[in-house]
Amino acid sequence: MPVRNDLSALEGYHSPQVDVRVRLNTNEAPVAPPAAFRQAYAEAVAKIEWHRYPDRGATDLRAAIAELHGVDPAMVFVANGSNEVLQTILLTFSGFGRTVATFEPTYQMHGQIARSTGATVVEGERGADFSLDIAEVRRVITEFRPHVTFLCSPNNPTGGVDSPELVREVLGLNAGLVVVDEAYGQFADWSALELVSEETPLVVTRTFSKTWSMAAARLGYLIGPKWLVAELDKVVLPYHLDTAKQIAGTLAVQYRGDMEERVRMIVAERERVVATLKTLDIEVFPSGANFVLFRTKSKTGRAVWQGLLDRSVLIRDCSGWPRLENCLRVTIGTPEEDDAFLVALTEVLK
Ligand SMILES: *Cc1c(COP(=O)(O)O)cnc(C)c1O
């Protein structure tokens, strides 16, 4: 049975899950959420009425997220991971006959989900240091008039943060709906959330997978104009967000202080790791996230990745991706994990 012609070239998402001592390949948080959260969750789950559908509007969860950001609950859309948020945006605003702009290299799933909805993806280019040049953004937007334009700040897998000036300029162009993917937003020193309003074609997406230590839950959301959230609510499947997950999210945000403490720790740890990486024979790219991208010099990226794996340290091999020759990405872990990585890397590079 042939798949849709336009899907036959899709490669899908690949990230090997192998059994290793030190796993620093998927940008997860290095530690679990607080024990008090897990206790509260277990108690709440025991009271679920399993024979009933979940609250379709995820009322409590939306209210909790809205309070977190000081916005109206009608400006919050929640889904199963920010990937489902992105998919719902693209089902609603892209699709056949429409165009989606990305600036490469960036998060693979933006282009991949857009293509799965039938849209044409146009790829702008980042500079040699992977920063985004407004002239290039202007060129792509003027030439292709995209229906949806993706920014990713901090950008995965390169780590850089787009400036407020750049995001404001993009909003001033005819860029269609501007999506700023802030999966790592809390690690950066500013957020595009401050630019969201009813009059602006902008949404900011966030996830519980990284900063909230809840990758297992698959929970993400966006903040955007109310009219836009209402459109997404029409497209997403009814009851897509199960009761257990709604409870998990609603409880999680009560532990915001713990999350912010973890973020501070990870940022400090990132600075420590970067300082050591800079002493090695590699090129290190600036990061505002919980991971660092670097490019090997005298050995190939693939060989270094394999050398680390031989020492039971798994990081992300980006070296085969377009524009990322010899690039590897390491997630910041606990100090012990990071030390194990740094020792192994130093050995491999010898
Ligand atoms: C991890 C990541 C996501 C996916 O988040 P989920 O909520 O786990 O689906 C989205 N965008 C970027 C840039 C990411 O790195």
> Taking all residues of the chain, what is their mean pLDDT, rounded to a whole number?
96
Listed residue (115, 165, 158) closest to 137, CA to CA = 165
- The residue to mutate among 13, 78, 210, 222, having the most atoms of ligand 1 within 8 angstroms of its beta carbon, is 210
Closest ligand 1 atom to 209 CA: 8
Per-residue pLDDT band for 229 (boundaries 50, 70, 90) equals: very high
**Rounded distance, CA 323 to CA 219, Å?**
30
- Token pair 């790791």 is found at 273
User: Which tens digits make up the pLDDT trace of 296-347?
Assistant: 999 999 999 999 999 999 999 999 999 999 999 999 999 999 999 999 999 9
∠ at Cα 280 (30, 293), nearest 5°?
45
Closest ligand 1 atom to 210 CA: 1
**Rounded distance, CA 219 to CA 77, Å?**
11
Per-residue pLDDT band for 6 (boundaries 50, 70, 90) equals: confident
Per-residue pLDDT band for 69 (boundaries 50, 70, 90) equals: very high
What 3-state class would DSSP assign to 166?
helix
Q: Tell me 158's DSSP state.
A: T
How far, in Å, is the centroid of ligand 1 from the Cα of 54?
24
Average pLDDT over residues 14-30: 90
Predicted confidence at residue 64, as pLDDT, reads 98
The set of protein residues with a Cβ atom below 6 angstroms from ligand 1 is 27, 81-83, 107, 152, 156, 181, 183, 207, 209, 220
User: Which tens digits make up the pLDDT trace of 239-277?
Assistant: 999 999 999 999 999 999 999 999 999 999 999 999 999
- The residue to mutate among 15, 26, 104, 156, having the most atoms of ligand 1 within 8 angstroms of its beta carbon, is 156
pLDDT of 109 above 80: yes
Closest ligand 1 atom to 27 CA: 1
Total Cβ atoms within 10 A of residue 22? 21
Q: Which residues lie below 8 Å from residue 13, measured CB to CB, with a gap of 6+?
A: 108, 109, 112
pTM of the model: 0.96
Would you kindly state where each structural domain of the chain is located, as residue ranges? Answer: 5-32+257-349, 45-255
Domain 45-255 CATH assignment equals 3.20.20.80: no
User: Which tens digits make up the pLDDT trace of 195-204?
Assistant: 999 999 999 9
Q: Which two tokens stand for residue 226?
A: 């109310």
What's the half-sphere exposure (Cβ side, CA atoms, 13 Å) at 110? 27
DSSP for 179-248? EEE-TTGGGSS--GGGG--TTS-EEEEEESSSTTS-GGG--EEEE--HHHHHHHHHHSPTT-S-HHHHHH
**Rounded distance, CA 297 to CA 281, Å?**
7
Which protein residue's CA is at the shortest distance from atom 14 of ligand 1?
A: 183
Per-residue pLDDT band for 232 (boundaries 50, 70, 90) equals: very high
- The residue to mutate among 78, 209, 222, 240, having the most atoms of ligand 1 within 8 angstroms of its beta carbon, is 209
- Token pair 């915001």 is found at 256
- Do 5-32+257-349 and 45-255 come out as alike in CATH topology? no
How far, in Å, is the centroid of ligand 1 from the Cα of 244?
21
Average pLDDT over residues 158-187: 97
In CATH, the number for domain 5-32+257-349 is: 3.90.1150.10
Give the H/E segment covering residue 260: helix 256-277
Question: Which of 5-19, 74-88, 110-124, 245-259 comes out lowest in average pLDDT?
Answer: 5-19
